[in-house]
Amino acid sequence: MEKIKMTTPLVEMDGDEMTRILWQWIKEELINPFVDLKAEYYDLGLVKRDETNDQITKDAAEATKKYGVAVKCATITPNAQRMTEYNLHEMWKSPNGTIRSILDGTVFRTPITIPSIKPVVKNWEKPITIARHAYGDVYKSVEIRADEEGTAKLVFEGKSGKKEEVVIHEFKGQGVIQGMHNTDKSIRSFAHSCFKFAIDTKQDLWFSTKDTISKKYDAQFRVIFDEVYQEYKAKFEELGLEYFYTLIDDAVARVIRSKGGYIWACKNYDGDVMSDMVSTAFGSLAMMTSVLVSPDGNYEYEAAHGTVTRHYYKYKNGEETSTNPMATIFAWSGALRKRGELDGIKELVNFADQLEGACFDTLNEGIATKDLVNLMEGITPKAVTSKDFIGAIRQRLEKRLA
Ligand code: NAP
Ligand code: MG
């Protein structure tokens, strides 16, 4: 069989630990035998990030802007323990944070669902996609440890000379202070991405903040969404879609009682937390896909989970692990499909469909990684190692492509 040709390179961002191992196996078994992969490779593994003073992360984000489509492996966000483990020069920032702030995009997370895994919330019939605003708030905040009595103030000095100042708190003792921001531009592009994605996927859009408490900050998000919605209103009505705004606590209650099948747009922190809750309730973090969509139409696909450190330590000790590669495989299929769509290569689009189909064939036959086995109902599943799982997918993929 002739390999499928590509015309534009895919930006490939390698990563860390167990997912870096899976990355290699996925390429060897499921991509390279079928696709003449044209990729611009960036190693975002922690060793390389440290070596390049994190320049490699910025370069990878710029390449995504240039080519339009990227696929990313999970990466370590260093903490104090990683500083020692990797003998780092600096506690580098989260690569995802860096990439998101360069692309100024929105992250959409959708669970991969299969008939044998019923969501914990029994009225959920369809996947819930979470749209996480990917810029600012606590992720771009500055903090001060107030270690004595004193006054904390919030000051804005306008370019025109205008000055605004409010007292945050008169400290009588020690405490903590945090300053955060967002920009109308980023909120507006977040809104555009959400309305566009809702129309693309023909799903309702929910949006929630805490504007009853945060009367200027969160309120601005609501105002901008209302404004931007006017541009999409006609299309929404034509498709019978609904946009509605509600408070975050009301949204949480409604989500639990809903049937699913919509996009829930969240501020950065809400999206971080809620996507973990939603993915767990749908089955497994390992079955959650993630795509960053920038307002100028660049796409970065990845798994929502991390580098699965606990499994990696076992692997390093020579143990075979049963780490679930589904979300990482779907990052590859998502990126290849998008590349195929943009370049008009229908063989590549078909390959992505068949690869996902082969994953479903495997799971529907009860061949699964350990994390899924206990969740499956109405089927007698067999737990296999990551390697055997990928091998089983390959067999079914070959059959589908023959
Ligand atoms: P994690 O890697 O997502 O793993 C947490 C636990 O979830 C695992 O120990 C495992 O549970 C389960 N799990 C996650 N993915 C799985 C998979 N594919 N197959 C089977 N089980 C899976 O989160 P973490 O341990 O908190 O973080 C590890 C590293 O990843 C950290 O350095 C963090 O900075 C980084 N991280 C990166 C990203 C990203 O690049 N997007 C996102 C989050 C975290 P059991 O141990 O019970 O089997
Ligand atoms: Mg999270």
pLDDT at 96 (0 to 100): 93
Q: Which residues surround ligand 2, an ion (CB under 5 A)?
A: 272, 276
How much of the chain exceeds pLDDT 90, in percent?
87
Q: Whose CA is nearest to atom 10 of ligand 1?
A: 308
Counting ligands in written order, which one lies closest to the CA of residue 288? 1
Could you read off the pLDDT of 351-364 as tens digits, one per residue? 999 999 999 999 99
With cut-offs at 50, 70 and 90, classify the pLDDT of residue 243.
Answer: very high
CATH 3.40.718.10 in the chain: give the residue spans.
Answer: 1-108+299-402
Residues 6+ apart with CB under 8 A from 318: none
Which residue pairs from 244-251 have beta carbons closer than 8 angstroms and sit at least 24 positions apart in sequence? 244/204, 244/205, 244/206, 244/207, 245/206, 245/207, 245/208, 246/206, 246/207, 246/208, 247/208, 247/209, 247/210, 247/211, 247/212, 248/208, 248/209, 248/210, 249/210, 250/208, 251/206, 251/208
Atom of ligand 1 nearest to the CA of 309: 28
pLDDT bin (cut points 50, 70, 90) of residue 172 is very high
* Mean pLDDT calculated for residue range 68-91: 96
For the beta carbon of residue 178, count every other beta carbon within 10 angstroms.
11
The CA–CA distances, whole Å, from 336 to 38, 66, 356, 372 equal: 10, 16, 11, 26
CA distance 360 to 106: 27
Under the banding of pLDDT at 50, 70 and 90, the label for residue 75 is very high
> Of 272, 278, 243, 241, whose CA–CA distance to 260 is shortest?
278
Cα–Cα dist 249/209, whole Å? 9
pLDDT (tens digit, 9 = 90+) per residue, 100-146?
889 877 889 899 999 898 899 999 999 999 999 978 999 999 999 99
Confidence class for position 397, pLDDT limits 50, 70, 90: very high
Q: What spacing in Å lies between the alpha carbon of 336 and ligand 2's midpoint? A: 25
Looking at per-residue pLDDT, the higher value among 200 and 65 belongs to 65
- Distance (Å, whole) CA 366 – CA 282: 18
Flag the least confident range among 203-217, 253-267, 279-293. 279-293
With bands split at pLDDT 50, 70 and 90, how would you rate the model's confidence at 297? confident
Provide the pLDDT for residue 204. 98
Sorted by sequence, the CB contacts under 8 Å of residue 250 that are 6+ apart come out as 208
Instruction: Give the model's confidence band at 234: pLDDT under 50 very low, under 70 low, under 90 confident, else very high.
Output: very high
Mean pLDDT, residues 58-70:
97
Distance 159 CA to ligand 2 centre (A): 37
What lies within 8 Å, CB to CB, of 14 at 6+ separation is 20, 23, 41, 42, 43, 44, 45, 73
CA of 94 relative to ligand 1 center, distance in Å = 14
The closest of 358, 365, 367, 401 to 385, measured between CA atoms, is 367
Residue 285 pLDDT class (50, 70, 90 cuts) = confident
The residue with tokens 């139409």 is 297
Is 295's pLDDT higher than 80? no
Q: How far is the CA of 288 from the centre of ligand 2 (A)?
A: 12
Indicate if the pLDDT at residue 1 is higher than 80: no
What pLDDT is recorded for position 36? Answer: 98
**Ligand 1 pocket check for 109: Cβ under 6 Å:** no
Tell me the C-alpha distance between 109 and 280, whole Å.
Answer: 12
Name the CATH superfamily, with its identifier, for domain 1-108+299-402: Isopropylmalate Dehydrogenase (3.40.718.10)
- Residue 69 in contact with ligand 1 by CB distance below 6 A: no
